Structure 1
Amino acid sequence: MYKKYAVVILVLIALTSCTQDKSIEFSSQSLTEKELSYCEDKDCPEVTINYVEVFGNESIAERINNKINSFIYQSLLLGEDTTPTAKTIEEAATGFIEVYYADKEQFPDMAGKYFAEISVNEIYNTDNHICFELRQYLYTGGAHGYGTTTFLNIDPRTGEELSANELFKNKNKFVNFAEEKFRAQQEIDKNESINATGFTFENDKFSLPESFGFIKDSLIFVYNQYEIASYADGPIELKIALKEAKPFLKID
């Protein structure tokens, strides 16, 4: 009898340990140019980075943090290189500022300092789905800066990114449903061209942005500037209530 109880207790402990081992927590972090050793004796351009760091299960946290850091490194990468070499956020920020000084030396009359503002926020969290909002806005010369908003959907049990096929039962049917919502929002009649009011969808065919996010009660899609309209039109947002989207979703 006692042996049976001992076995049950050991199983419960093992299950509890597994559950705790997979748990993760979030911590808000920030970095500005003022904290960089490179800027101690320089009037550096403004760099503001606010992001989430994940703790808990080591392997899961590492996978998620790597994805977050990769976005930050890529956002701060200037010039012809397309693959970041930075190993830390501080190094990536320093690299951005170094490019500014190199460009300033080459073009002394360059107007305005470069500027970078980057944020990563946790905006949706369930047992099987976490969504991060990734924003970046950079000014690197010219008439104006440019910013984007994208999303990262993660399985918190593995730390891996969730694809559209893992989130939607039938993506094509959902796109048709989303087009109805978009047309209603933009007041485009169902019999009119999707580009009738000035949008620039490729081949005059509605499509959703590759990146999409989840918030408390809605699915959110953001068309960044130039994707389907001019820069002056700004980002265009489409929200669909989760209760309406639920028939098309594989997970809660």
Structure 2
Amino acid sequence: MKKILLILPVFILVACQTKVGSSRTAATVVEKKFEKKACVEDDCAEVSLQWVELLGDSYAASVNSSIVEKITRYLVYEDTVLSMQEAAQFFLDGFTEAKEEFPDSPGGWYVSVNAATSLDSLGIFSVKFEEESYTGGAHGSYSTTFLNFSKKDGSVLANEQIIQNKPKLLALAEAAFREKRDIHPDSSLLKAGYWVDQGFFLPAAMGLSPQGLILYYNSYEIAPYSEGPTELVLTFDELGDILALPQ
């Protein structure tokens, strides 16, 4: 049966530019969008990417490069440096090749990534990445992660670099987790079905917002997929001197 392949690229620079506050300088943030689509007969693969780009600041180039690199990792799993457009084409090519190899496989693929400013203050520029994708199987993939940048030089701050009292943070996080999941302080999290056989732990995804510190446990990190993700927000008042912010 004859197959028809369509490639429909769209690259948009959103006209809206906003000044976001900073403890050092005001940065101009531009919202950008890239979309591309490929179809084989009635089934299509779609790429939809939205992200922020900084202009006119000394650390902008470093931040922008890290944001683009992280987004391309959702499209290309190999350790290869590609542009946004190249990574999108890699994903679409994977779809068309899969259709050629397995022509009877139903449905299409998609990946959607939104990278938005979470905080621009306290010496940190924090970006929240929300990803959703499907490439076949029982269900799609959903994740939320963060990149936290120092506004001194645009370097990526590891979680350990913004925490100066981990034991205290662990205690606060566990209490908040139990409250969120309605688990009594004296009940066993392990018996409740959570994966804490090595003890309670902090999530990989940690970011800052105007409300405080966001701790985001993605699906499969601390519980089965059926439990879904868990987002905790600890206010700056609750945190006290737990954080080590590069103001």
- TM bracket, shorter-chain basis: 0.7 to 0.9
- Aligned counterparts of 2:220 and 2:161: Cα–Cα separation in 1: 28
Structure 2 partner of 1:32? 35
How far off its partner does 1:43 sit? 7.4
- Aligned counterparts of 1:110 and 1:43: Cα–Cα separation in 2: 10
Which protein has the larger Cα radius of gyration, Structure 1 or Structure 2? 1
Gaps of 5+ in 1: 1-20
Structure 2 partner of 1:69? 68
Which residue of 226, 229, 241 maps to 1:247? 241
Structure 1 partner of 2:47? 47
Q: Structure 1 or 2: larger strand share? A: 2
Secondary structure at 2:111 match in 1:
strand
How many residues align? The count is: 222
Which residue of 184, 187, 193 maps to 2:182? 187
- Which shows bigger deviation, 194-203 or 95-104? 194-203
TM-score (norm 1): 0.80
Change (3 A) 1:127 1:112: same
Secondary structure at 2:240 match in 1:
helix
2:152 is aligned with what amino acid?
R
Structure 1 partner of 2:84? 89
1:141 is aligned with what amino acid?
G
Structure 2 partner of 1:14? none
How far off its partner does 1:180 sit? 1.9
2:171 is aligned with what amino acid?
N
Q: Percent of pairs identical after alignment?
A: 30
**1:1-54 per-position Cα deviation (integer Å, ceiling 9, x unaligned):** xxxxxxxxxxxxxxxxxxxx97632100001115xxx88xx9751211010111
- Aligned counterparts of 2:81 and 2:65: Cα–Cα separation in 1: 13
How far off its partner does 1:193 sit? 1.7
TM-score (norm 2): 0.82
Q: Is the 8 A contact 2:43 2:107 kept in 1?
A: no
Q: Is the 8 A contact 1:164 1:171 kept in 2?
A: no
Which residue of 85, 93, 101 maps to 1:106? 101
Q: Structure 1 or 2: larger helix share? A: 1
- Which shows bigger deviation, 138-147 or 161-170? 161-170
Gaps of 5+ in 2: 1-23
Secondary structure at 1:45 match in 2:
strand
- Aligned counterparts of 1:43 and 1:196: Cα–Cα separation in 2: 44
- Aligned counterparts of 2:149 and 2:179: Cα–Cα separation in 1: 31
- Aligned counterparts of 1:185 and 1:234: Cα–Cα separation in 2: 13
Secondary structure at 2:144 match in 1:
strand
Poorly superposed stretches of 4+, deviation over 6 Å: none
- Which shows bigger deviation, 182-191 or 124-133? 182-191
